[in-house]
Amino acid sequence: MLAPRASPANIPSVDRLLNSPAFETLLARYGRTRVVTDLRACLESLRQAAIAGTLDADSLSDEAIGSRLRAQLEAGTAPALRAVFNLTGTVLHTNLGRAVLPEEAADAVLQSMRAPVNLEYDLVTGRRGERDTLVEKLLCELTGAEAATIVNNNAAAVLLMLSAVASRRDVVVSRGELIEIGGSFRIPDIMRQAGTRLVEVGTTNRTHLSDYADAIGPRTGLLMKVHTSNYEISGFTHSVSVSELAELGHARSLPVAADLGSGSLIDMTRWNLPKEPTVQETVAAGADLVSFSGDKLLGGPQAGLLVGRADLIAKLRKHPLKRALRVGKLTLAALEPVLALYRDPDSLPQRLTTLNMLSRPSSEIQAQAVRLRPIVQTAVADAYAVTDAPMVSQIGSGALPVDTLPSHGLAIRVVKGKRGSLDRLERLLRGLPRPVIGRVNDKALWLDMRCLSSADEAAFVDQWRKLAL
């Protein structure tokens, strides 16, 4: 039997609903102004359905309208920036926020938001201070540099470095190091914005020290080496080391800069991870300025870090761009505890979240996948087959692009003859309260477990119970 239909005249008034017990909680949580605005829109939607003859009378009870309005308010007030489960297999995923901060950093950020802080106030002298000094001592201790400064990302660090040191001068760079970073942002573009003139030397695959030497002229302001952290050229290749370039630069009274990109602060081979040049090695090799990211291999917040000679760092700080590119208190609050963790490298795999994810044993990840497989299979029912499978993770964000990490996870495939759809399943997982982000490839939805911590397992399981296929 069909439910009785409602007419527009049956729709209750706004005032009566607002005085109904069903709306007390909504008014307390969202406020009268927001509730009234959304309620009017809700009632207009019901009115249109009534005019079309498709509105059930049961839909007009106070409780039914209250429930409908609650869903509408929740959807309208949900934060745009949300926590997700990164099961893509890419640890430092640019689109998912790169490095996950350790608890020490998260606690420090929270504290800095709850109270005034000495961002630019010298507690010793009682006078205005310099915000960079909050982390400069730590950076110098960890890198061996004379001084340090911080801006909002590594592209900004390179822009500031070029603008302050080599504006209206020539900058000599190997052709094989003219990299493009995320968003089609290229080293030549940064140089153009900085007002420098790019002088390319060598060829794509081979550059010699003599190429740099031959390119030096009266307008040369800087010799620059760029670590190709987001691609690799193999085969018949040759590049000039930082130490060789530094020796040439210093002999010609020219500063030498090195852009490391990912910027590791420690030799990661001790945890069986690929070799990456460290900032300490680069400073020790003679680079006058070194730029690197805070949110890649370093495992901290988004920031561009510059270390090097004290006179050059002072020049960077005085440049007008520095104020435009400087970081705020939240970045500094997060960066300091992350840097402090490097004072005890033996405990880094347990305390630095990024390194913990990168160094997880494949056997541990496999055990987790096996443990979670039945739960996921139950959630997707018989339209899909869920298997635990070996996978290959990558570091991501341009770091060590050809190096991979053995991993494990779940592969979800449509059962032949069933009406399953990988695209629909992937879309539903993205629509969960805490979205589950995997990757569709080779007729399967792959969920790499490398970045799923044991502490997040319960929340992960809870999401699958909310999946409505």
Calculate the average pLDDT of the chain: 93
pLDDT(228) > 80: no
Structure confidence by residue, pLDDT tens digits, 125-148: 999 999 999 999 999 999 999 999
Average pLDDT over residues 149-169: 96
SS3 per residue for 324-371 = HHCCCHHHHHHHHHHHHHCCCHHHHHHHCHHHHHHCCCHHHHHHHHHH
Average pLDDT over residues 157-164: 96
Give CA–CA dist 455/233, Å, rounded: 40
Question: How far separated are the first and last CA of the chain, in Å rounded?
Answer: 28
Which of 30, 26, 55, 28 minimizes the C-alpha distance to 43? 55
Give CA–CA dist 101/295, Å, rounded: 9
The pLDDT value recorded for residue 236 is 62
Give CA–CA dist 84/196, Å, rounded: 41
Give CA–CA dist 32/274, Å, rounded: 58
The pLDDT value recorded for residue 19 is 95
pLDDT category at 281 given cuts 50, 70, 90 is: very high
The pLDDT value recorded for residue 357 is 96
The pLDDT value recorded for residue 232 is 60
Exposure of 406 by Cβ count < 10 A (0-12 exposed, 13-18 middle, 19+ buried)?
A: middle
The pLDDT value recorded for residue 2 is 54
Q: Using an 8 Å Cβ cutoff, are 296 and 303 in contact? A: no
Which helix (DSSP H) or strand (DSSP E) does residue 382 occupy? none
**CATH number for region 85-94+356-465:** 3.90.1150.110
Angle ∠(32,37,39) on CA atoms, nearest 5: 90
The pLDDT value recorded for residue 256 is 98
Average pLDDT over residues 428-445: 95
Q: Using an 8 Å Cβ cutoff, are 211 and 248 in contact? A: no
**Domain residue limits, the chain:** 8-77, 85-94+356-465, 103-347
**Least reliable range by pLDDT among 52-66, 231-245, 343-357, 373-387:** 231-245
User: Torsions phi, psi of 176, nearest 5?
Assistant: -75, -5
pLDDT category at 231 given cuts 50, 70, 90 is: low
The CATH class given to the 103-347 domain equals alpha beta
The pLDDT value recorded for residue 90 is 95
Which of 315, 282, 321, 320 minimizes the C-alpha distance to 165? 315
* DSSP single-letter state for residue 206: B
Count CB-CB contacts under 10 A for residue 78.
9
Average pLDDT over residues 361-382: 96
The pLDDT value recorded for residue 263 is 83
**Least reliable range by pLDDT among 4-8, 99-103, 298-302, 426-430:** 4-8
Structure confidence by residue, pLDDT tens digits, 179-222: 776 556 688 888 899 999 999 999 878 899 999 999 999 999 99
Residues 6+ apart with CB under 8 A from 121: 127, 128, 129
pLDDT(230) > 60: no
Q: What is the pTM of this model?
A: 0.89
The residue ranking higher by pLDDT, 177 or 392, is 392
The pLDDT value recorded for residue 1 is 46
pLDDT category at 402 given cuts 50, 70, 90 is: low
Give 3's Cβ-side CA count (13 Å radius): 9
pLDDT category at 401 given cuts 50, 70, 90 is: low
Query: Which residue carries 């979205």 as its tokens?
Result: 435
